[in-house]
Structures are given as C-alpha cells and as structure tokens.
Amino acid sequence: MRKHEAITQGWFDAWWFLREYGVKTRDDIRPEAWAYDLGIEIVEADLDGASAQLIRLGDLVQIVLSERITESGARRFAIAHEIYHFLKKHPSLAATMLCKPKWVRSGAKEPCAYEIGSNAFGSAVLLPDFLLRKRCEVSPVSLDVPWQITKEYDVSILASARRFVELSSERCAAVFAKDGVVQWSTRSATFTRKIRDGRRLHRDSIAWDFHATGKLDERDQPVPARAWFGTTSNEDIIEHATCRPDYGTVLSLLWVPDAVGARVGMP
C-alpha cells in the first residue's frame, strides 16, 4: 500500500469509528474508554526505544505504553494509534507490535504503511474533521489556532499543527526539525512545493536560529521563500516557529499568502 492510500484509508476508518462511537463533541473523544470498550487493557512498562506496543496473546490484548510518555497528549495519541493496529489486525513479526515514537522517522528507512495508517487514524479520531475544519480556515495562518487546538483537545502541538495543515485550504506546511535537519513535513493541498526529509535548515529560516543559537523568536514573521523551498523569487513567506530545547527540536508553520503564491511557484 502506498503512503497516500494508507492515509486515506486511516481517515476513512476514523470516520466510521467516530460514527460508531457517537462522537459529536470534544467531550466524546475518549481513547481510554474506547480501548476499554474494545476489551483492551492499558498498562505501562519500560519499553526500550519504542513509545508503545500492542500485545495480542489469545484473548489477552494489551496496549503497553512506555513509562517515558508523560504528556497526556502523547498518551492519547499512542492509544488511538495502537487501537488502529488492533482493529485492522495489522501483522507484526512477533505477537507484539513495537511502535517507534510517533513523529520521529529515521531518515533512511521509509516508515511502513501500517504505521502511516495508524498515525492518520489517530490524528483523525482525536482531531475530527467535522469539529475542526472551520477553525482551520483562517487567514493569516499562524500557530495560534494549533495552540488553541492543543489545549482544547489535549494533543501535542505536533499533532495539532499537522492536522491544521491537512484541514486548511491556505498554502501552509508544518515542518519538524531536529539538530538542524528536517525530520518530516506535512503540507496542505495547496502548498505544492516539497520540503524534503533530511534537508538541512537554511540559514535564513527562523528554525535555523534555534539550531544555531539555542534561542528562538516565537513570533510569526517574514522569511525568504527560498529559505524553505526551491524558488528563484526573492519574495517572503511567513514562518511561525516553536521549540523544545530539551529535545533540540523545532516546529515551523509556514504560510504562503495569496499575494505571493504565484510568484513563489504556487499559483
């Protein structure tokens, strides 16, 4: 299965799942209760390197969460992600399935379709399209709405920023970098330029400031478009970044306003 097919399938399954569980408002989004209803026990253990694990042994089904997951948003996401492995009966090499930290992907290895599908499902059940799409239709684009969603929906800023660009029709992208290198990016349908994984941050980007100095100006501000993608234009786009100094990571939300779209190659 290709990447975009796995994502589309995850979203489709999420739509049915939310319907099945009668989710109509934010308060109906309860991953732990869903797991309980499905007969899955949630336990915590020291998982070497992985963030969560699904165990299926006869009638016993467990989601094992790493003790290192201390943030409630990460915990909710891990549970929703594992629920999808369970529902889809994703094969694993052993009776258990080890899942790497959700948004960290090693540069060399392509993440497998099961992981991509589970992430798409997790994102779509915790941040439902029908509750959030209208809020994501804002201009100008900044991290303000993703931050609000993070607080209200109890998810990480990475999850809410990704979902925001998926649901927005503005030209925008969420880019996550660690130690000066792009780990992943997600683009809206109208942000048609690729930002390659493994790309080094450009000196003119705001994210690079964090990498170079450990400090970050967490305000939305203009940056040259060519700091982020290939273009001969000298136009500016907008970057709004936030960092986690303890992890050496920075998340940038990029926005190409209508006025410069065509001039930077995104008509």
The residue ranges that bind Zn ion (CB under 5 A) are 99, 115, 118
Least CB distance to Zn ion at residue 141 (A): 30
CB closer to Zn ion out of 120 and 243: 120
Tokens of 187: 């683009």
**Which positions ≥6 away from 33 have C-beta within 8 Å?**
none
**Which positions ≥6 away from 161 have C-beta within 8 Å?**
143, 146, 174, 186, 251, 253
CB closer to Zn ion out of 80 and 165: 80
**Which positions ≥6 away from 178 have C-beta within 8 Å?**
104, 247, 248, 249, 250
- The residues pairing with 241 across neighbouring beta strands, listed in sequence order, are 252
CB closer to Zn ion out of 115 and 154: 115
CB closer to Zn ion out of 99 and 241: 99
- Gap between the Cα atoms of 249 and 201, Å rounded: 12
Least CB distance to Zn ion at residue 177 (A): 23
Least CB distance to Zn ion at residue 91 (A): 12
Cβ 32 vs Cβ 21: under 8 Å: no
Strand stretches in 3-59, DSSP E = 41-45, 52-57
Least CB distance to Zn ion at residue 85 (A): 5
Least CB distance to Zn ion at residue 259 (A): 41
CB closer to Zn ion out of 53 and 249: 53
Which residue's C-beta sits nearest to Zn ion? 99
Side-chain half-sphere of 131: how many Cα atoms within 13 Å?
Answer: 21
Strands across the sheet containing 41-45? 41-45, 60-66, 52-57, 96-99
Q: What φ, ψ does residue 171 adopt, rounded to 5°? A: -80, 100
Least CB distance to Zn ion at residue 22 (A): 26
CB closer to Zn ion out of 120 and 143: 120
Cβ 39 vs Cβ 32: under 8 Å: no
Least CB distance to Zn ion at residue 103 (A): 12
CB closer to Zn ion out of 38 and 212: 38
